[in-house]
């Protein structure tokens, strides 16, 4: 039986053992203005049936019927039921780190297939068994470039996701490294100033494709500049876009990373997520995280193992390429099932439908007085509109009629206080686009949506 303190004497003895006089001493590092001084107003205890009924009532208040135009890195793509029906089988849902190959062949094979799919999707040579999320994948790619080149400057475009850039800055904050940001020219990178940032001190250049605003960058300009300077080209991609757009390999990227949530993972209020990491073969001994390899046993039968483990943190911690110590393997398994299910025809179809519906909506909005599509640059499934009323007002009033309108860009870019980021996927119909257009029209005319929007 575990020991459970059951008296004030037990608590006093514990405090004496750790050298403090009271519980308040344990809270001393927390500023007083952040601590409550009154008793918590907790409800009376409930019996289990009562609690279950209460939780069900709370759950029913969640409205999942809204039409979503929210993107910014997490998207409302369709997730076929079979994806999580298979992923939540006990063999996958309860599996942990597959260090013992003898008992983990199923898990190892699933991860191997995940890596193989990513290589096919990006055109890159090797992929790892995933990272925490897209942001940490970007940061780890930058650290690989630093270790490979011996340089201390990381160059990133302002049009790369601000959340990615924030995590990048956090991860390098304890090291003697420098992050410099190429400014945006509107909604794309200002490549006219690239020479001011990319030189023989640059370990890498990080560009998004599509970028955070949804627009397509002229990657060729950046790739040429960073390679001439002796650094590495890192691309942060939307995996769904690769059903239509050129692959990172075709852009001659050295490393391609991204957020894998759109590959069969529900939005779940922003997590859990899935970091994608692929690279050229020459960097295989420097890429972070786990790698699964295919081999044969002593009888010549195919088998799967974790490979190149001498640089993983559980074997030679001081020689590890990263201190990330999980691979989000369940999400990677779901992504593997999704990619296998969609296949060569399905994924391009999802990409085409998203792009077609996004461009349909952009044309409709451009025809509304007071609204403007931010530049005529090509975009994939996400774009920016300049609005005659504050985006925060649009978001609030649209929410009241079941429409999640997008992202107020002033949250990340203070100067863009009248700009709304709108995302469209295959889950948004033409009728949904028309309803959104009608709502924007009413708001521009100063009318309320409730009761007026069909």
Specify burial of residue 133 (Cβ count, 10 A radius: 0-12, 13-18, 19+): buried
pLDDT in tens, the chain (454 residues): 444 555 667 788 888 888 888 888 888 889 988 888 888 888 889 999 999 999 999 998 887 778 999 999 999 999 999 999 999 998 888 877 777 888 888 889 999 999 999 999 999 999 998 899 999 999 999 999 999 999 999 999 999 999 999 999 999 988 899 999 999 999 999 999 999 999 999 999 999 999 999 999 999 999 999 999 999 999 999 999 999 999 999 999 999 999 999 999 999 887 889 999 999 999 999 999 889 999 998 899 999 998 887 666 666 777 778 877 777 889 999 999 999 999 999 999 999 999 999 999 999 999 999 999 998 899 999 999 999 999 999 999 999 999 999 999 999 999 999 999 999 999 999 999 999 999 999 999 888 888 777 6
- Give the separation between CA 425 and CA 353, rounded to whole angstroms: 7
Query: Sign (positive/negative) of CA torsion 439, 445, 446, 452?
Result: negative
Convert the pLDDT of each residue in 73-82 to its tens digit: 999 999 999 9
H helices present in 126-269, as ranges:
134-149, 162-172, 219-228
3-state helix vs strand vs coil in the chain, percent to 5: 40, 15, 45
What's the chain's length in residues? 454
Where in the chain are the domains? 67-76+343-444, 81-338
- Give the separation between CA 378 and CA 397, rounded to whole angstroms: 29
What Cα–Cα distance (Å) separates residue 252 from each residue in 21, 114, 222, 232, 234? 63, 22, 11, 10, 10
- Give the separation between CA 288 and CA 320, rounded to whole angstroms: 8
131, 167 contact by CB (below 8 A): no
* Domain 67-76+343-444 coded CATH 3.90.1150.10: yes
Specify burial of residue 236 (Cβ count, 10 A radius: 0-12, 13-18, 19+): buried
CATH code for the domain defined by 81-338: 3.40.640.10
Specify burial of residue 424 (Cβ count, 10 A radius: 0-12, 13-18, 19+): buried
75, 69 contact by CB (below 8 A): no
DSSP code, position 142: H
3-state secondary structure of 332: helix
């Amino acid at each position: 039986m575990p020991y459970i303190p059951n008296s004030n004497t037990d608590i006093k003895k514990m405090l004496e053992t750790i050298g403090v006089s009271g519980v308040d001493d344990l809270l001393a590092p927390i500023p007083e203005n952040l601590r409550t001084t009154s008793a918590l107003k907790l409800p009376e205890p409930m019996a289990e049936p009562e609690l279950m009924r209460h939780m069900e009532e709370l759950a029913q208040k969640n409205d999942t019927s809204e039409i979503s135009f929210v993107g910014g890195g997490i998207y409302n793509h369709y997730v076929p039921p079979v994806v999580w029906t298979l992923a939540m089988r006990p063999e996958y849902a309860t599996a942990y780190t597959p260090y013992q190959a003898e008992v983990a062949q199923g898990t190892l094979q699933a991860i191997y297939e995940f890596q193989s799919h990513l290589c096919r999707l990006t055109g890159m040579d090797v992929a790892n068994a995933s990272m925490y999320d897209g942001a940490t994948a970007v940061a780890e790619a930058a650290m690989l470039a630093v270790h490979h080149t011996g340089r201390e400057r990381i160059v990133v475009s302002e049009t790369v996701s601000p959340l990615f850039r924030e995590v990048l800055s956090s991860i390098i904050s304890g090291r003697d490294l420098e992050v410099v940001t190429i400014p945006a020219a509107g909604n794309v990178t200002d490549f006219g100033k690239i020479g001011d940032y990319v030189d023989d001190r640059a370990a890498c250049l990080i560009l998004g494709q599509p970028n955070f605003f949804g627009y397509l960058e002229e990657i060729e300009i950046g790739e040429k500049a960073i390679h001439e300077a002796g650094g590495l080209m890192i691309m942060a991609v939307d995996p769904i876009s690769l059903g239509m757009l050129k692959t990172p390999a075709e852009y001659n990227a050295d490393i391609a990373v991204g957020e894998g949530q759109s590959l069969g993972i529900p939005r779940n209020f922003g997590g859990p997520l899935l970091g994608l990491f692929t690279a050229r073969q020459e960097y295989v001994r420097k890429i972070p995280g786990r790698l699964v390899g295919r081999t044969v046993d002593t009888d010549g039968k195919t088998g799967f193992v974790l490979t190149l483990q001498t640089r993983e943190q559980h074997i030679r911690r001081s020689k590890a390429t990263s201190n990330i110590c999980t691979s989000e393997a369940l999400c990677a398994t779901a992504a593997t099932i999704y990619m296998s299910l969609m296949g060569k025809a399905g994924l391009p179809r999802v990409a085409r439908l998203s792009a077609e519906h996004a461009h349909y909506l952009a044309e409709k909005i451009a025809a509304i007085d007071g609204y403007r599509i931010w530049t005529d640059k090509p975009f994939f499934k996400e774009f920016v509109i300049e609005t005659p009323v504050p985006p925060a007002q649009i978001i609030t009033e649209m929410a009241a009629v079941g429409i999640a309108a997008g992202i107020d860009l002033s949250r990340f870019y203070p100067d863009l206080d009248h700009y709304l980021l709108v995302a469209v996927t295959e889950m948004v119909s033409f009728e949904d686009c028309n309803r959104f257009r009608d709502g924007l029209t009413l708001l521009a005319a100063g009318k309320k949506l409730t009761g007026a929007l069909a």
